[in-house]
Amino acid sequence: MKTPVCQRHKCIEAIQAHRMEAIRLMIAGMSHDLNNLLMGIWTYSSSIQRLTLDKEIRKKCVGIARLCEKMTDMIKKMLLLTKNGCQLRPSRLNLNQEVEKNLQMLRDMISPSIKIKMDLDPALPLIYADSTAITEIITNLVLNAAQALSPGGVITIKTSVVTVTENDCLEHANAYPGKFVTLTVVDNGPGISPEDLPRIFDPYFSTKKGCRNHGLGLAVVYALMDAQAGWVHVESELKKGTKFELYFPIRSMAGC
């Protein structure tokens, strides 16, 4: 018997949520120990640097210190994926204004052969969110779409207000009922294969070859939405395109 599409979605989202939770716990647990070890390595190498006049050894110690700094940066980036690592500064803001604010920067970042279309709901209520996080989220989603598209491809950025019912929550693992502002980024690119779909939010999962530091974009999007009490829903069909839908809760002033 075939599994209904909505149940398959919920299943994929549940797998994604479990994987992310496990990864975040591991990062949170390991990062403290890694930082301590790094501090030890850095202290030993600076002691050696102080104790020797040998130029070669001193040069190597500078190299070790540089690598320690890089590693500290990496740990900081990984910590962004954990619950306590996302230090957000939320304020009441209009999502349309946030999109429009970033539009020129996005157009400058992608090939002029790719079109960005806008479909913004003029009657959006305010949300309580972090402006820098929204810029990061939109940039990651638009860049991913642009990288997947061939010349002539189209990216549509849409905003709207939706009410999520108890019934809707049966279809989505991270959803909860209420009123939400959604941000949707759709492309008509090649789509994501069913094998890759459950893994796209995993840190360092990437199908792009030949570049370092790939595979953190969607992991960061996932963590930032989670930290803002929202969630991400993704749908993709091979040769048709991909849709990322982000749900931001609308909170009353009392809830802020």
Residues forming contacts to ligand ADP in the complex (CB under 6 A) are: 140, 144-145, 148, 187, 189, 192, 196, 200, 205-208, 214-219, 242
Pick from Mg ion, ligand ADP, none: which does 200 bind, CB < 5 to 8 A by kind? ligand ADP
Residue 63 C-beta: closest distance to ligand ADP, Å: 28
Least distance in angstroms from the C-beta of 140 to ligand ADP: 6
Q: Name the token pair of 150.
A: 């061939």
Residue in the shown chain whose Cβ atom is closest to Mg ion: 217
**Token pair belonging to 180:** 């939400």
Of residues 125 and 198, the one with the C-beta less far from ligand ADP: 198
Q: Which residue has the tokens 């860049």?
A: 143
**149/164 with CB nearer Mg ion:** 149
- Cα dihedral angle (203, 14, 159, 191), rounded to 10 degrees? 70
Q: Which is nearer to ligand ADP, 124 or 148 (CB)?
A: 148
Query: Residue 55 in contact with residue 113, Cβ under 8 Å?
Result: no
Smallest separation (angstroms) from Mg ion to the CB of 140: 5
Q: From the list Mg ion, ligand ADP, none, which binds 205 (C-beta under 5 to 8 Å, kind-based)?
A: ligand ADP
> How many CB atoms lie under 10 A from the CB of residue 178?
15
Contact between residue 13 and residue 173 where contact means Cβ atoms under 8 Å apart: yes
In the bound state with Mg ion, the residue whose beta carbon lies nearer, of 203 and 217, is: 217
What is the CB neighbour count within 10 angstroms for residue 139?
A: 16
* Identity of the amino acid at 20: M
The distance of closest approach from Cβ of residue 135 to ligand ADP in the complex, given in angstroms and rounded to an integer, is 15
Q: Which of 31, 52, 232 is nearest to 133 (CA)?
A: 232
Nearer to ligand ADP, 230 or 249 (CB): 230
Catalog residues that contact Mg ion under the rule CB under 5 A. Answer: 144, 217
Q: Give SS3 for 50.
A: helix
